[in-house]
Amino acid sequence: MLRDTAVALAAAGIDNVRFEARLLLAHAAGLSAEQLIARGAEPAPAAVAERLRELAARRVLREPMAYIVGEREFWGFPFKVSPAVLVPRPDSETLIEAALALMPDRQRAWRILDLGLGSGCLLLTLLREYPAASGVGLELSEEALAVAQANAEALEVAARARLVSGDWRQPDWQRRLGGPFDLLVSNPPYIEAAAIEQLMPEVARFEPRLALDGGPDGLAAYHAIASAAPALVAPGGRVLVEAGEGQALEISRIFTAAGLAMEGLWKDLAGIDRVVSAKH
């Protein structure tokens, strides 16, 4: 079963096919990877074989693995995901690293705002790392809000997280959020609209376009964040945003023009300037 699944995935142009085949088989069988290894010599029930064929057929169409299995790990925590939210990525963990380095007091009652909440991976991870903190998450998609709420409950931070429906493209969108906040974080849409169709199929075909489309130049959301940040962030507070490759310097200029003081750029594991840090 592993072999046949791996062959089908390879024919679809997917990498790491043995690893992915094992994930699909484990999910189909309702077993952990360790249980699958321990019981690998047992005959597979017909229902598991059928379920595996269904899952493999979805992956062959390049549906993201995270949507198929329903979760993705981020910062060591399991996050539920669905096609309503972006799949959490290791690149975004750079923002968590930056926040913890810049705000080292883990016991302080920080107030945190996440714009474009999605699965909640940024806000909820920070609430786990700062056990006295509280946070607000803004999200346009009701389906995404439901995913984030489920994650907040699973991670036992729901009592400290207020999840708000809202659209930063509308006038006065920031008035419902409260504040001021000690930290504003965001992984906003930053792909140039015309470039989305050229992305890998898993992204272009399946991930929510609302969370990808950054307008003609990919920077529309950063202008909205920069204009609102002085009113949302307390004096001395910080703004940390994820950036697309090659965008960090232009985002820095946008923030500087809005009256924010640039603190620096944070590189991801590939050496790309991934997070822009500014101070109010």
Residue pLDDT, tens place only, 226-251:
999 999 999 999 999 999 999 999 99
Q: What pLDDT, on a 0 to 100 scale, did the predictor assign at position 77?
A: 98
Contact 47/25 with Cβ under 8 angstroms?
Answer: no
Q: What is the pLDDT of residues 12-48, one digit of tens each?
A: 999 999 999 999 999 999 999 899 989 988 999 999 9
pLDDT at 215: 96
Sheet holding 134-139, edge to edge: 161-165, 134-139, 111-115, 181-186, 233-242, 273-279, 261-267
Q: Is the bond preceding 78 in cis, omega lying within 30 degrees of 0? A: no
What six digits make up the tokens of 61? 């169409």
Q: What is the mean pLDDT of residues 245-274?
A: 97
Banded pLDDT at 137 (limits 50, 70, 90): very high
Q: How does residue 265 score in pLDDT terms, banded at 50, 70 and 90?
A: very high
pLDDT tens track for 191-239: 999 999 999 999 999 999 999 999 999 999 999 999 999 999 999 999 9
Tell me what pLDDT residue 168 has. Answer: 87
Note the pLDDT tens digit of each residue in 85-128. Answer: 999 999 999 999 999 999 999 999 999 999 999 999 999 999 99
pLDDT bin (cut points 50, 70, 90) of residue 272 is: very high
φ and ψ of 164, to 5 deg: -120, 135
Q: Is 280 exposed, middle or buried (0-12, 13-18, 19+ CB in 10 A)?
A: buried
Domain(s) labelled CATH 3.40.50.150 in the chain stretch across: 74-279
DSSP H/E element including 93: helix 93-102
From the candidate CATH numbers 3.40.50.150, 3.40.50.10320, 3.40.50.1100, 2.120.10.80, the one assigned to the domain spanning 74-279:
3.40.50.150
Q: Specify the pLDDT at position 33.
A: 86
